[in-house]
Amino acid sequence: MVTIQDVARAAGVSPMTVSNVMNERGRVGPTTRAKVLDTIDALGYRVNVAARNLRQGRTETIGLAVPELDRAYSAQLAARIVRAGMRQGLRVVVEETGPRKENELDAIALSRVRLYDGLILSAVDIEPADLEQMSASGPVVLLGEQVSATRVDHVGVPNLEGARAMMQHLGATGRRRIAILGAGVGFRKNPDAYALEAGALRVRGAREALQSAGSDLDPDLVIEVSEWSTRAGWEATTEFLRRGQSLDAIFALTDSLAFGGLRALADAGLSVPHDVAVAGFDDVDEARFSIPSLTTVAPDHRQIAETAVRFMVERMRLGDDAGPPRDVMSDFHLAVRESTSAGPPAGAAGAR
């Protein structure tokens, strides 16, 4: 590997002169500058940017930790943050956490030994106490719901408000038997066990909408899953329909679950939205192209990515001078599409 000392010897100048030429500083005559540049080209010397940045105490690289890279929402979130980072002159290294608490904590620990200048963490299992106990040796921006009493910046998704609005939309189309697809296993027996999860907030928002309309959440219409995947949505909905429960709508807590629900309804010979309306949450890119296209809660994804990166840059540059921890919630709207567009069915559907 060619070093700056090699260039200096070949050009007959000092290493400091070579450094001055590369960094365009100091008084270097045009003849000497040209000789150094020609020598750099001839030897194929390349600046070790990583080593230089580490000496300067920065890497211009941030980490992004997401739960699962094979989920549409996480993958598309990562892509948006990578692009937002590039616009700020930052590289973004993406890693998968599982989602497991120990992996989320490991991601923070790695960023704090200066592998990254900071970390954006899409948290699932980590708790406020975990963040409180960690040394503040590098900036962390949190995406997710574990925000109470934390010392880090947070950008959240309107889980409660979005779910409430979607249930109100379904009610306005005349749907009354609305199944909730995506609560964690055990939710019906102990809802409080999921109080900090995005899913629990979405269920709570759905329940508040029902209560404001004079009803309540029917436990028999809560469809539990072990994970938020399309396969899990298909399997859970298929089993639900086999039990013969009547329904006229499904509100899936993620779009991935909704896609599985659409497949299960088609397998059962039910028409969407004529027999059963289906709605999701996240507005992943694929939602516009499913058949039928999927009605979904659409958080402002660009706002989330840009805000998270902006908070990170401000902390990297200003540290505590950037002010106290900030807690913001993204905007959202309902993307109403074909899966809920028809009027209410003549009667609640069941398995056929």
Average pLDDT of 183-209? 79
pLDDT at 278 over 70: yes
Q: What angle do CA 182, 300, 293 make, to 5 degrees?
A: 55
Whose tokens are 């009667």? That residue is: 347
Q: 4-47 maps to which CATH number? A: 1.10.260.40
pLDDT at 351 over 50: no
Question: What pLDDT, in 10s, does the model give residues 307-341?
Answer: 999 999 998 888 777 788 899 999 999 999 999 98
For the chain, the farthest-separated pair of C-alpha atoms sits apart, in whole angstroms, at 90
pLDDT at position 144, please?
78
Equal CATH topology for 4-47 and 159-299+335-340: no
Among candidate residues 249, 243, 240, 262, the one with its CA nearest the CA of residue 176: 249
Q: Which two tokens stand for residue 58?
A: 């920065």
Question: What pLDDT, in 10s, does the model give residues 226-268?
Answer: 889 999 999 999 999 999 989 999 999 999 999 999 999 999 9
Domain ranges for the chain: 4-47, 59-156+300-330, 159-299+335-340
Bridge partners of 178? Answer: 249
The rounded distance, in Å, linking the Cα atoms of 211 and 253 is 19
The rounded distance, in Å, linking the Cα atoms of 264 and 177 is 17
Residue 282: C-alpha distances to residues 62, 158, 202, 289 (Å)? 25, 10, 12, 14
pTM score, two decimals? 0.78
Whose tokens are 């406020």? That residue is: 128
Question: What pLDDT, in 10s, does the model give residues 137-158?
Answer: 578 898 976 555 567 899 999 9
Terminal CA-to-CA distance of the chain, rounded, Å?
A: 70
Q: Flag the least confident range among 14-18, 289-293, 300-304.
A: 14-18
pLDDT at 284 over 50: yes
pLDDT at position 49, please?
52
The CATH number of 59-156+300-330, from 3.90.470.20, 3.40.50.2300, 1.10.1270.20, 3.30.360.10, is: 3.40.50.2300
pLDDT at position 76, please?
95
pLDDT band of residue 352 (cuts 50, 70, 90) is very low
pLDDT band of residue 223 (cuts 50, 70, 90) is very high
Residue 96: C-alpha distances to residues 60, 70, 100, 261 (Å)? 21, 10, 10, 26
The CATH number of 159-299+335-340, from 3.10.310.30, 3.40.50.2300, 3.40.50.10800, 2.40.10.120, is: 3.40.50.2300
Selected residue with higher pLDDT from 131 and 344: 131
pLDDT at 298 over 70: yes
pLDDT at position 36, please?
87
The rounded distance, in Å, linking the Cα atoms of 132 and 128 is 6
Mean pLDDT of the chain: 85
pLDDT at position 3, please?
83
Q: Which two tokens stand for residue 258?
A: 């909704």
Average pLDDT of 176-181? 96
pLDDT at position 147, please?
54
Q: What is the 3-state secondary structure (H, E, C) of 22-80?
A: HCCCCCCCHHHHHHHHHHHHHHCCCCCHHHHHHHCCCCCEEEEEECCCCCHHHHHHHHH
% of the chain exceeding 90 in pLDDT: 50
pLDDT at position 139, please?
86
Q: Which two tokens stand for residue 283?
A: 């507005």
Q: Are 108 and 333 in contact (CB under 8 A)?
A: no
Q: Are 101 and 128 in contact (CB under 8 A)?
A: no
pLDDT at position 136, please?
46
pLDDT at position 113, please?
46
Question: What pLDDT, in 10s, does the model give residues 60-115?
Answer: 889 898 888 888 999 999 999 999 999 988 999 998 887 666 776 677 666 554 56
